[in-house]
Structure 1
Amino acid sequence: MSLSRFSINQMTVRQLSLPELVDACGELGVSNVALWREPVREYGVEAAAKLVRDAGLGVTTLCRGGFLTAVGPAERAKALADNRAAVDEAAALGTDTLVLVSGGLPAGSKDLRGARERIADALAELGPYAEEHGVRLAIEPLHPMFASDRCVVSTLTQALDLAERFPAHQVGVTVDTYHVWWDDRAPAEIARAGAGGRIHIFQLADWVTPLPEGVLNGRGQIGDGAVDMREWQGYVEAAGYTGPIEVELFNDGLWARDGREVLAETARRFVAHTE
């Protein structure tokens, strides 16, 4: 496969400043990026939008919104306000997709079902707001090891059960190989998502063992682990997905290296492990 569908997620090469990332993409012929709110805000949302626009780069997604499981009224209001701001930022950057990491259990709680219902309540407010701004919300299920502190949505089944309460142009899902490769129900759920027009973004990352002590930063470079990237690409494409394919890697080893070198390596791996 060529690089036409390849999108480099900013977190993969977070050691590069935004101007450095844009410059490196130009040198390598990379035409798409996925941005993160923190470095974009640091640079300035409008300035970042102009930078990528002037470089001819497409912004495939903005990450991340979410963290919608709080119980207290003040905390919930704060979370909703932050997500509305994330929608505004996505629209300003020219992307139609905001990735949502739903949030973990509130302190002292063991109520997973209640946490998921609070996500649904939040989506009922955020979905129409996002639609008004031309943005879709993409619920990302995270591996179950993150359920307690980061994301109570652990499977595509759970993500779709939430998303399908709302119109597909408001709420869909993120399919990330790192988080779903272990789930034997995931291929059927990808087909379900595709049938409903709810695959909003497809992301690649490999699963390598042993996991590092900081598990969050354990995503392996494509081809270094247990995930068959072509198999999962086949599932999403059989479901009708023809959009960009992001590579999103949280990896301390990659971050310690030269960012341009990592970007070039990632582009080569993408071509080698997709079709």
Structure 2
Amino acid sequence: MSTTTAGIDVPSGEPARIPTPEPGDARLARLSLNQRSIPSWSVREAVDGCVRAGVPAIGLWREPVAETGLDRAARMVADAGLRVSSLCRGGFLTDPDPAARGQALDDNRAAIDEAAALGTDTLVLVVGGLPEGSRDLPGARRAVVDALGELVPYARERGVSLALEPMHPIFCADRGVLSTLGQALDMAEPFAADEVTVVVDAFHVWWDPALDAQLTRAAGRIASYQVGDWITPLPADTLCSRGIPGDGHIDLAGLTSAVAARGYRGDVEVEVFNQDLWAADGADALATIVRRYAELVAPHL
């Protein structure tokens, strides 16, 4: 097993605990860089960075793909030999206004087409928060169910699953009215297991006392496993409150083992929204991600 100099972890500045694995290291076989972890990188830069670091997969976001051009981005990834673990994001389906709802459905159909063109079968859905001025949380959730009914046939024809991402309750009002894996499964289970799936994001679900039982229920329907960490104190911008794996409170060894025990064999995305990480040099940030993943996640898959 070959390694390079350990280097310095960012953003903490603490020395790395293990050397940086080199390309071809078996520990990296299922690692995927979620593109939002290094948002300063274009698709070209992210693809090149993954190749240099030996990261075999990438989780793409629609906005940088659009900036690059869909066909060009698809060629870049394919030519580099990378897998696209997921496309983020569709969703935002809770507005009851007919015009807004129609626009959201059209945008999700476009996202489904983009996922198919990029060669991934997983479109991550951030379902949306409460519509402006609304306090009708059950109504917002019903709107998501109705939208799934309209989108599933379109996605099925294109070989794309709609992957519901439950989000931590702090985001319920503005981003995701699905707060638990159980709620996501309630919406997913009326559909075939490859039509509506779920995302298990450590940052969002680690706190849930029912998580173990819901992971058992989710077996065969987990489309994506994402890792980050829960740090305290939370920064003022809670959207950017994720820690690099190992910097926070989540039992990633236990959660990863639990996800693996339910039969998940897909890529594992490291998704970290963190201003300090984002401010670091992209190559240094990725090296830290690679080290932390190899030490804290890969041994438990």
TM-score (norm 2): 0.90
Distance 2:269 2:80 in 1: 19
1:51-130 pair list within 5 angstroms: 51-130=76-155
1:182 equivalenced with 2:202 (yes/no) = no
Q: Which moved more, 1:14-23 or 1:152-161?
A: 14-23
Query: What is the alpha-carbon distance in structure 1 between the residues aligned to residue 59 and residue 125 of structure 2?
Result: 14
Superposition TM-score, scaled by structure 1 size: 0.98
Q: Say whether 1:238 aligns with 2:252.
A: no
Rounded Cα–Cα distance in structure 2 between residues aligned with 1:169 and 1:154: 22
Which residue is equivalent to 1:204? 227
Q: For residues 119-166 of structure 1, give each alpha carbon's deviation from its aligned partner in whole angstroms, at most 9, with x where no partner exists.
A: 000000111111110100100000001001111000001100001121
Matches of 2:141 and 2:179, distance apart in 1: 11
1:249 and 2:272 correspond: yes
Match of 2:54 among 12, 24, 29: 29
Instruction: Determine which of 149, 154, 157 is the counterpart of 1:132.
Output: 157
Cα drift, residue 190 of structure 1: 0.8
State the shift of 1:167 in Å: 1.2
Matches within 5 A, 1:218-233: 218-233=241-256
Residue aligned with 1:127, SS: helix
What is the deviation of 1:169? 1.2
Matches within 5 A, 1:146-161: 146-161=171-186
Shift of 1:108: 1.5
Gaps of 5+ in 1: none
Structure number with bigger Rg: 2
Task: Show the counterpart of 2:23.
Answer: none
Q: Secondary structure at the match of 2:28?
A: coil
SS at match of 2:273: coil
Partner of 1:272: 295
Structure 2 segments unaligned to the other structure (5+ residues): 1-25
Instruction: Output the CA distance in 2 between the equivalents of 1:24 and 1:115.
Output: 40
Q: 1:5 aligns with which of 30, 43, 54?
A: 30
**Partner Cα separation in structure 2 for residue 136 and residue 190 of structure 1:** 18
Indicate the SS of the match to 1:89.
Answer: helix
Output one character per residue of 1:75-133: Cα deviation in whole Å (capped at 9) or x when no partner.
00000000000000000000000000000001111111111111000000111111110
C-alpha deviation, 1:9, in angstroms: 0.2
Q: Within 2, Cα distance between the matches of 1:127 and 1:230?
A: 34
**How far off its partner does 1:269 sit?**
0.4
Residue 258 (structure 1) aligned to one of 281, 286, 298: 281
SS of alignment partner, residue 242 of structure 1: coil
- Equivalenced residue count is 273
Q: Which runs of 4+ in 1 moved over 6 A?
A: none
Amino acid in the other structure paired with 1:225: G
Task: Indicate whether 1:170 and 2:195 are aligned.
Answer: yes
Q: Which moved more, 1:18-27 or 1:44-53?
A: 18-27
Q: Secondary structure of the equivalent of 2:218?
A: helix
Amino acid at match of 1:219: R
Cα displacement (A) at 1:234: 1.0
Residue 242 of structure 1 deviates from its aligned partner by: 1.1
CA-based RMSD of the aligned residues comes to 0.8
Separation in structure 1 between the aligned mates of residue 42 and residue 287 of structure 2, nearest angstrom: 16
Instruction: Report the Cα offset of residue 21 of structure 1.
Output: 1.3
Map of 2:237 onto structure 1: 214
